[in-house]
Amino acid sequence: MFVDKATIEIKAGKGGNGAVAFHREKYVASGGPDGGDGGDGGDVVLIPDANMSTLMDFRYKRKYAAGNGADGAGKRCSGKRGEDLVIRVPLGTVVRDKATGAVMADMSAVSKFVAAKGGSGGWGNSHFATPTRQAPRFAKAGLPGQEREIILELKLLADVGLVGFPNVGKSTLLSVVSRARPRIANYHFTTLFPNLGVVYAGENRSFVMADIPGIIEGASEGAGLGHDFLRHIDRCRLMVHVVDVSGSEGRDPVEDFETINRELLEYSPALASRPMLVAANKIDMARPEQIERLEKHVRAAGMDFFPISAAAQTGTQELVRAVSYKLSALPPIVTFEPEYVEPEEPETLPDPEINRENGVWYVDGGFVERLVQNVNFGDYESRMYFDRTLRERGVFARLEELGVQEGDTVSVCGIEFEYKK
């Protein structure tokens, strides 16, 4: 199955907690704090893989998490860094942030991309020793890693894209000019996913051609296969518009030509403005006046016209030479520049929410979540730091404004206290 778009959740590892420990050695009194730092959390890293051709691996597995950092230990031993999670994606995959839709990376232009960065490890108590606080019994907790949803979009790396109505001979043309062997049959939508072929146009001259499933009128509104596969010609430097000049499907070739151009414009004005050659296929079944009418219309639109019969291999080499010559003057395959800007973390975390239910005051969220992680409630000095921080940040003042009374139960991130004024 060909899968070219997937949404996954990624989570970097949490940093390990710092350790609370004290140096103990025979004949050494008051050795002092020697708690080590926690290890950093692992990153989620994307790597392009030229051997992958679809996003099938992400169809059923949607959640990916890197390893957490290990906690610090005594003797100032730092915790082990969390193991990075490496995710391989097909070459040409574009990574987008789901929340904003912004491009984060084009995996055809980078060798690796850190999609989510691991959290920093917390400091051990050895960092908090001062001349007046010689035995700190608290350490910092590790920070959480980044967590986000990303969209993976596979955009094939092809120089030339074949576009046109179903059953006009695009797959046949690809099979004739390259060694690709796409499925070919005389009914609509035989091609259900893009096919790639390498076309050799002479010594040291070759290019990649993509056969895109047929577009029909109303594709921009979801008719037929819609625009699902047009993303694969976003990178193409040149379009070859294949038209059934014989009208064997009962359609007018000129109307077909204009309809496909309108659908391309609906999908992407930038794509519709790319250079285009027109291949009038099935000339062996067409009347001379049909060929002349389409050629006149195409040349009036400023495009080159090539009468061919892919099945009879008539005119195909002339088309290949023209495509190769045109490509030599065009810029390289399009790459997508990153647009995503990492939101800046606030200098100070927001104030918590305060609610009262069943006679209990609940203080949750904001800076108190991190504060609780960094407090050792078994240590008097650490508890005083907790109390002082809540008072300085105005939490007590807000509780009193809301009507808290002495003796009321206050729950701070799940830890209950009796309120004392």
Measured CA to CA in angstroms, residue 391 lies from 329, 352, 396 at distances of 70, 13, 6
Using the Cα atoms of residue 166, residue 169, residue 172 and residue 174 in order, give the sign of their dihedral. Answer: negative
For residue 188, is pLDDT > 60? Answer: no
Cα–Cα distance for residue pair 252/254, rounded to 1 Å: 6
CA–CA gap between residue 164 and residue 268 (Å, rounded) = 16
Residue 250: its pLDDT value, please? 86
Whole-angstrom distance, CA of residue 76 vs CA of residue 18: 10
Q: Full-prediction pTM beyond 0.85?
A: no
What the block records as the tokens of 18 is: 């710092």
Q: Nearest-CA neighbor of 211 among 248, 245, 236?
A: 236
Pairwise pLDDT comparison (47 vs 229), residue with the higher score: 47
- What local confidence, expressed as pLDDT, does residue 183 receive? 67
- What are the structural domains, with CATH classification, of the chain? 1-154 (2.70.210.12), 160-327 (3.40.50.300), 353-418 (3.30.300.350)
Residue 264's pLDDT is 86
Kindly indicate the confidence band of residue 347, based on its pLDDT and cuts at 50, 70 and 90.
low
More confident residue, 231 or 187: 231
Shortest CA distance to 314 belongs to which of 348, 274, 358, 284?
Answer: 284
Residue range 117-172, pLDDT digits in tens: 999 999 998 888 888 778 888 888 898 999 999 999 998 888 999 998 888 989 99
- pLDDT of 242 reads 95
